Every structure is written in structure tokens, then in C-alpha cells.
Amino acid sequence: MSIPNITPHRATIFLIIIYAVGLVGLSNSSLEMLFRSLTPGNLLLTMAVLFYFHTPFTAKHLVLAVAVMSVGLLAEIFGVNTGLLFGEYKYGNTLGVKIWNTPLMIAVNWLVLSYCAWLIVSDKIQHPLLKILSASALMVLFDVALEPSAIRYDMWTWEVGYVPVHNYIGWFGVSAVIFTMYHYAALPMRNPLKYTVFLIQWVFFIALFFLNILY
């Protein structure tokens, strides 16, 4: 039996279906806990689909991916245990297994988002500093959409009861460090799903926010 041809178009349809089902499940009180438990698996599935279409693939790309995940994870470990980087917050149980009060899945989140943001910005901007700053701003824009649902679904909570400006400054700073790594790595990277994955997740969290207001 042959493996079906996986095209970017089919992958896009697949991701739209997955996230649409997730939207319905999380918005339904009887299904919410089940779909919360599926969050880590959804992150891993999204990463797998995204990087299936990454080209070219070399050992250097793998090293860069590990480095990005490590920086993201270490930043979150430092942030959640000190309150200095993003503000005072703590992680809930939705993102799964934790190390030093920090879910391992947060490393996947930093990789997927930063990878897409870097490729999106690279399509439009060539100046290194502008590219780093623009990609970092795009990450903050994503976080603005993410925060309400992250709090609502116990991904994390803020001690002050709202998202502090400190958080967005921290997101921008960590993102800038990561994008500086992308810049100096200077690796060729192409992926037809860069817009798809970033936009689907961004729209997903915005839609989830409004559904929670309506229902």
C-alpha cells in the first residue's frame, strides 16, 4: 500500500480541521477537560506537520532547532521561578509534563512560533536589525492573542490577575535573542506552511477568546 501524497494544500486542510475541532471541543463544557489534555499532543502534531515541509534539512538546522528550544525553555524556567523576566506567573497542568515548574512543551511552542515568524518576516525584510525587531514584534502580537485563552484554559496564570506589560517586554526580549540566533546561523530555510501554521494558531486563539465571551 502506497503512502498518500502529502501536499501543502492537504496539510493546510488537515490543520484547519484539527484546530476547528479543537475550537469546538474547548468551547464545549462537557468536552473541555478532554481537549485540554490533548493540547501537548496537538502542539507536537503541529510541529511534525510544519517541519515535514521544511527544506533543506541539515545537521546545522537540527542544532539550531535544539538551541532555540533550549533558549525558550531556559527563559521560561528562569521567568517562572524568579518573576524577573515576564512577571509573576505559574504554569497550570494543560501543557503537560513539567521540569522546574515549566512544561517541556513550551520549548516546542517557542520553536514553532519563532520559526514561522522568522520565515514570514524574511519574505518581506532583508535588513538584519529590522528583521529581528519585526519578527520579535510579530511574536508579541501573537502573545496578545494567546494570553486570554492561556489563562482561561489553565496553561498559566498571573499572580496580579491580569497580563502585565512586563510580560510583553520579556517576550520581545527573548524573541530578539532567538532571532539573533537565526540571523547569525544564516541557514537557508523554506517552508510553504509558514503562514498557514502561524495564522491558524493566531485565528484559533482569537476565535476562542470571542467564543468564551459569547458563551
Alpha helices in the chain (DSSP H): 8-27, 32-37, 39-52, 59-82, 105-122, 128-152, 165-185, 194-214
Query: What's the mean pLDDT in 137-157?
Result: 95
| 21-50 pLDDT tens trace | 999 999 988 999 999 999 999 999 999 999
Across 75-89, average pLDDT: 95
Per-residue pLDDT band at 213 (split at 50, 70, 90): confident
Rounded to 5°, the CA angle 195-198-202 comes to 130
pLDDT at residue number 1: 41
Residue 2 has a pLDDT of: 44
pLDDT band at 11 (very low <50, low <70, confident <90, very high): very high
Mean pLDDT, the chain, as a whole number? 94
Write out the three cell numbers for 71: 533558549
CB atoms within 10 A of CB 126: 9
For 99-110, the pLDDT digits (tens) are 999 999 999 999
Cis peptide before 56, with omega less than 30 degrees from 0?
yes
Choose the weakest-confidence range: 3-17, 74-88, 144-158: 3-17
User: Structural domain boundaries of the chain?
Assistant: 8-214
Convert the pLDDT of each residue in 168-209 to its tens digit: 999 999 999 999 999 999 999 999 999 999 999 999 999 999
